[in-house]
Amino acid sequence: MSVSTNKALAVAAALLASSLGVSSGAHAQNAPVSLLPAPGAPVSDTAATDPLDAPAPDDAMPSDDAAPAISSSALEAPSPDRIGLIDQAGGGFSADMWRGTDLELLRRILPQLPRRMDSLAQRRLARSLLLSAAAPPTSSTPDAPPVIGVEGASAALSAPPAQWLLETRLIGLAAIGAWDDALAMMDLVPADQMTEGLRKLRADGSLITGRTNDACAEAQAALSASGDPYWQKIQVYCNFANNQASAASLGLSVLREQGIQDPLFFWTVDLLNGNRRLSPPNLGRPEPVHLMMLTKAGGPVPDALIKGGDPTTLAVVSAIAPPPDDKADKTPAPQRAERRKLAEEARVSVAERAVGAGTLNPERLRLLYRQMNIKDEPPPPLATVTVATVRERVHLFQTALAQNLPAARAEVIGRAIELTRADRGLHGPDLITVGQVYAPLIQDITPSPELVWFSGSAARALIAAGDLEKGRAWLELARSMARTSIEAGQMADGLFPIDRLLNGAAGRLPPQALPAWRETVPADRRAEFQGILLNILAAAGETITAADWLPAMDASAPEVTMAVTPPRIINGLQLAQRDKRVGETAVFALLALGEDGVSSVEPAAVQQVIAALLAVGRERDARALAVEALLVEGL
């Protein structure tokens, strides 16, 4: 779409302002308190320590801690669809990432990206894809209407064809809870090119990130020209937030006169008015305004709202403390105490899920672990404790914190990590989440010969959390002592697959590597684990022979039913890989992994994803997924 000189200058000015930090300052004017992770977390979804180092330029991943690198391609062609926060030099995809991709195909597949990604490596790939500035693909049928393939996406969009890609990318960022990224992208859109869908998305982002004044101003301006119930609901929330009960009542009357059907909204209004009644059935997916109403009301939060695992909902709900005891409640004290105990456990469980979904800073979860009162409960013996319940996980964390000696603390952390590996995410958080929780505690322990027995747990936890540098220090400790210490040799043998993938080695495996590794694996899982390992190594380009597969041939079918990737996704991935369509390959890879990531997808699909990303030059993403696949499976 052609644009006027004035529009081009407007975009250029916006891009320049963003590169100088102007846009972020504009958001800061309300001194917001965000409900989502604070930037600069010690170890988080997009921590500065990337899973793999020495990348090729196109493989670098963006860091939340670094200033965004604005693409020069956006200045050269100021179409809204080309806007991005990163480019190839700054860690994103290349400007021609959509070369060869048909626009109509992209219209069908891009809106279907998972709304939740319980995989740190997968989220990094998605974030890099959606934030990258690039020329949009061309269409074989230019006049074809947009096709939206995901529930709720079409309602917010009224974009002209040339702006469809930008809005779909923004919706994708919002869906995975990357609201700050979405708002920063919208700062680059000139005012005269802001669509109704973008304004609504900006208001939602302002609500979620604590910029309530911005959202209220947006709603007030929109209501002067529109009677859209969306804006009216936000205005009602703003009235409640400002203790303007009469104005809120008037707004509610307007909504009821319009016949608006939104049970969740009107239920939260009842909560704000002090009426604690049961939640209605069929609440649907909560919108940001619903979440803000719940936050102000202080809950309770119906289980149905968090069952779907929406990342933003999980983060917001985890910040809502259980309501205080009602003085009028005549329930016996022991029952009230038990009810409060269950509410605290539920809040921690939600926070664990939010960390796993990438929308909660792990420090918030560590705080909840520290705050849970278990002083009157006898701690289970370290040798018999499990990670199957919230309280046992809290016991382990608080016990680790209470240890002053590095060896004593390492013993408790090691137990937590090994239990998590054995559990494989079946009863509690997986190793990616647990690694992020314990990473700061492990970082305070200096790798030393007397702690070589801890090297396996420490390396796995830190690498799972994204701290490759410190994780490698423990790897190196085990490797350097392997010739003089049997224990160190066992640690090094067990870590061999992760070490191999991290170093980017390919070719024939060392002759004794697999047999030595097998000795570190429980005997009853060797065939199963070798099958998993060889599948990942083959995907990463290793030379695997039929002889290597022989010990895995007697493995029984896995007990857990895995998601089957639809053939259309696998075929789309293969076609995009064959023709080196980089952006398209990344989209199909994300679709193949789904919401639950590498831990819940059939191994053949994971292998296809890793191989495809390697084939189009996304080696860092491919190897990060490969390492994560081994870690979450307990290897």
Burial classification of residue 563, based on how many CB atoms lie within 10 Å of its CB (0-12 exposed, 13-18 middle, 19 or more buried) = middle
- pLDDT class for 369, splitting at 50, 70, 90? very high
Of the candidate ranges 174-178, 304-308, 516-520, 620-624, the one whose mean pLDDT is the lowest: 304-308
Measured CA angle at 459 (ends 454, 465), to 5 deg: 130
pLDDT (tens digit, 9 = 90+) per residue, 32-65? 344 454 433 333 333 333 334 433 333 333 444 4
Q: What pLDDT is attached to residue 16?
A: 32
Of the candidate ranges 218-227, 329-338, 358-367, 537-546, the one whose mean pLDDT is the lowest: 329-338
pLDDT (tens digit, 9 = 90+) per residue, 210-251? 999 999 999 999 998 888 999 999 999 999 999 998 898 888
Alpha carbon distances (Å) from 405 to 212, 215, 401, 414, 451: 46, 50, 10, 14, 12
- pLDDT class for 587, splitting at 50, 70, 90? very high
Better-scored residue on pLDDT, 15 or 334: 334
Question: Do the Cβ atoms of 95 and 88 come closer than 8 Å?
Answer: yes
Q: What pLDDT is attached to residue 145?
A: 42
Of the candidate ranges 44-48, 423-427, 574-578, the one whose mean pLDDT is the lowest: 44-48
Question: Do the Cβ atoms of 603 and 532 come closer than 8 Å?
Answer: yes
Residue 260 has pLDDT above 80, yes or no: yes
Residue 31 has pLDDT above 50, yes or no: no
Residue 564 has pLDDT above 60, yes or no: yes
CA 622 – CA 606 distance, rounded (Å): 10
What are residue 417's phi and psi, to 5 degrees?
Answer: -70, -45
- pLDDT class for 511, splitting at 50, 70, 90? confident
Name the E strands within 297-440.
none
Q: What pLDDT is attached to residue 97?
A: 95
Q: What pLDDT is attached to residue 335?
A: 83
Q: What pLDDT is attached to residue 140?
A: 57
Sign of CA dihedral 270, 276, 282, 287: positive
Q: What pLDDT is attached to residue 154?
A: 42
Q: What pLDDT is attached to residue 556?
A: 61
Q: What pLDDT is attached to residue 138?
A: 79
Sign of CA dihedral 622, 626, 627, 631: positive
Of the candidate ranges 416-430, 467-481, 547-561, 598-612, the one whose mean pLDDT is the lowest: 547-561
Burial classification of residue 317, based on how many CB atoms lie within 10 Å of its CB (0-12 exposed, 13-18 middle, 19 or more buried) = buried
Instruction: For residue 62, give the DSSP letter.
Output: P
- pLDDT class for 2, splitting at 50, 70, 90? very low
The SS3 of residue 106 is helix
Question: Do the Cβ atoms of 255 and 236 come closer than 8 Å?
Answer: yes
Q: Where are the domains of the chain?
A: 5-210, 231-323+334-361, 362-503
- pLDDT class for 336, splitting at 50, 70, 90? confident
Residue 364 has pLDDT above 50, yes or no: yes
Q: What pLDDT is attached to residue 525?
A: 85
Which DSSP string do the residues of 352-393 spell out, in sequence order?
HHHHHHT-S-HHHHHHHHHHS--TTSPPPPTTT--SSSHHHH
What percent of the chain stands above pLDDT 90?
Answer: 51
Q: What pLDDT is attached to residue 275?
A: 80
CA 40 – CA 46 distance, rounded (Å): 9
Better-scored residue on pLDDT, 500 or 23: 500
pLDDT (tens digit, 9 = 90+) per residue, 307-325? 888 999 999 999 988 877 6
Q: What pLDDT is attached to residue 133?
A: 93
What percent of the chain stands above pLDDT 70?
Answer: 81
Question: Do the Cβ atoms of 300 and 342 come closer than 8 Å?
Answer: no
Q: What pLDDT is attached to residue 403?
A: 95
CA 171 – CA 404 distance, rounded (Å): 47
Residue 418 has pLDDT above 90, yes or no: yes
Residue 146 has pLDDT above 70, yes or no: no
Residue 29 has pLDDT above 90, yes or no: no
Residue 28 has pLDDT above 50, yes or no: no
Q: What pLDDT is attached to residue 321?
A: 85
